[in-house]
Structure 1
């Protein structure tokens, strides 16, 4: 379908769901960089729960335009530093091993439910500073928000189920209480860093801080969970590339997976004025999907794009966005994936996936797996 859109309808109109879509790499890049005409003010996803003027409740500064976006991203970046992320590496390895050890005890496990969902959830709790005693609760709430699979009905994944909305409310309440507690007593964690972040006299409000923590559920947990599953599945489908990955080329494995099968397939924008492109005029105040998944398979940019190839140059991949909204957490996401896949390949010599029992997530925007039953050959 993506190839047909790129070739025949690069500016596509969907009347049923009221959106436009751009599918060519050059057009997606241009729109990502043009925040004056392609606004983020209504959010990044068009599902009813996420779209509209209140989108920043879910997406924080990612659903803002300048000057609000500039202020928020600047303050958050003072706390969410590369140094803070890199210092977590030893602890992240411990978390990965703790998650993996029970999963591998029986010779078979479900990569998604037994490892890929738990690991990034515990990583974000470690980063934020969630007390050990609360982490099971936070993990359960995070799973309730993220985990929508094919078996659950509503195949299109058009909106969040009631239990997910309830979990978001509970997580907002928990993070609000934790922020109040940390305001009284700082720790060496991201939450304390967000409380201390300042530009002159300007600081983040408690509500803004909680919004950033909620953003981490999707950006820091769900994306990594889906990336791990997509990498595991892609390597299983391509034995020659799996051999390269298991021989130590984990970074190339991650980058080619992000290009070939990115967890987030599209980013939404709102036009602020009429935009003419390829002889078509998109009206002002229109919903536009920037199809990252299609752009990453554009043959004008990637040679033989349908081939999964760890040797290719992935420098033009748009998996983490581009322009002003390039993902601030890209370093964390890559580090999480690198540690998780390294620990997996250290413990496992080879594996097989039971695709008859595998299940995909149910989402109009995300692509990945809810279940990947795996039989392993240990080292």
Structure 2
């Protein structure tokens, strides 16, 4: 199947508005797709994407997991930590980080996540009480995840707005820009310098936060270097912050579009996790992840040469009718289980999956204890334009407060 017959361009704004018809054609007509102009191959069917995630020998992470030129290359692990490594380096770093980033630490964080969510909701609902439209992303979904990461790391309250602004700056892309703009580079440097100072402070005097736990993490005398800790902190900002923001806004958007599915959630908040899972399936934040072929790989009678970029498309896999019944319907409570790939699969399964699910559950449950309905102003909603994540930069809503 040639590029001229089907075009997959991860930088195309039409594709960002609705990638799913493109994915459908790929799954049906070009399950192994090649775009020689942009220099990548792509897998779109559920079975192939899952197999791809689990093949961490032939499909390497060490040049990064993004198609963007500035994020690709042997330096990728500086900002993407063990996500941009292969074993044994990946396993070593991940195991050390896991010593600090424990399920117990995440569980113990939940009361603080609730407090942070409530504080942001107070502001949002104060504005909404006057009948004005509020931006769900600006006031809530865009603030909570980064503040939770700052809470986890031990960033002082007074610095959190600034840290959040730098994190936003790192991710921002203007229209037509496929590479990292100077403003994002500057924001990245500011963030790294800030974290460097934090690590130095903890080296002098440990506290009860994740930064200190990472400094203390040790296996048989092996410890994390400052650069490794910084790389992981930066990964949290890029991978942990942005994807959770998108998840919260995607849940709100698709809930609004499917009121029949959302109505039961107001009456039974135990359904919130099901709402989160269906959003992760139906419109996942992480749509496209890159791998680099090592040696060569034969798929669909085609040899993909060494060094080529292969894109895995979980966004497409989750709409594969070979695996899900009526995949284009948004059905809260459908059976998903292990078929979900929003957090990857295999050796690189997302270490922050527990944290993301907990944040989303807490945030949406707190929201629904305090409102009895909302409407999205779709005409003024603004999508994020990114080659690998999907979600909203702005989501204006009208809220009915309880």
- Which TM-score applies when normalising by structure 2? 0.92
| Residue equivalent to 1:276 | 298
Q: Give per-residue Cα distances to partners, 1:132-175, cap 9 Å, x unaligned.
A: 22212111111112344xxx422xx5222211111011101110
Question: Unpaired runs of 5+ in structure 2?
Answer: 1-21
Of the three residues 142, 162, 165, the one matched with 2:185 is 165
Q: Which 4+ residue blocks in structure 1 deviate beyond 4 angstroms?
A: none
Equivalent in 231, 251, 254 of residue 234 of structure 1: 254
What secondary structure, in the 3-state scheme, does the structure 2 residue paired with 1:356 have?
helix
Aligned residues: 374
Corresponding residue for residue 331 of structure 1 = 354
User: Following TM superposition, by how much is the alpha carbon of 1:226 offset from its aligned partner in structure 2, in angstroms?
Assistant: 0.4
Deviations 1:225-249 (A, max 9, x none): 0000100000000011111332321
Q: 1:121 maps to what in 2?
A: 146
Distance 1:11 1:52 in 2: 24
Cα-to-partner distance string for 1:316-344 (whole Å, 9 max, x where unaligned): 01101000000000000001111111111
For the Cα contact (< 8 Å) 1:147–1:370, is it kept in 2? Answer: no
Question: Structure 1 length normalisation: TM-score?
Answer: 0.97
Q: Distance in 1 between matches of 2:171 and 2:291?
A: 22
Once the two structures are superposed, what CA deviation does each residue of 1:100-129 show, in whole Å capped at 9, x if it has no partner? 111111223100011111111110000000
Q: Find 2:83's aligned residue among 62, 65, 68.
A: 62
Ranges in structure 1 where 5+ consecutive residues have no aligned partner: none
Tell me, in whole angstroms, the C-alpha distance in 2 between the residues paired with 1:207 and 1:284.
Answer: 30
Q: Matched residue of 1:106: which SS?
A: helix
What is the alpha-carbon distance in structure 2 between the residues aligned to residue 285 and residue 76 of structure 1? 29
Structural mapping, 1:149-228, within 5 Å? 152-154=174-176, 158-228=178-248
After superposition, the C-alpha distances for 1:239-290 in whole angstroms (9 at most, x for unaligned) are 1111133232110000000000000101110000221111221111110000
Structure 2 residue 36 is matched with structure 1 residue 15: yes
Matches within 5 A, 1:230-309: 230-247=250-267, 248=269, 249-309=271-331
TM-align CA RMSD: 1.0
Cα separation, 1, equivalents of 2:146 and 2:299: 41
Matches within 5 A, 1:21-170: 21-107=42-128, 108-148=133-173, 152-154=174-176, 158-170=178-190
Which of 332, 340, 365 is equivalent to 2:388?
Answer: 365
Matched-pair contact (CA < 8 Å) for 1:245–1:252: no
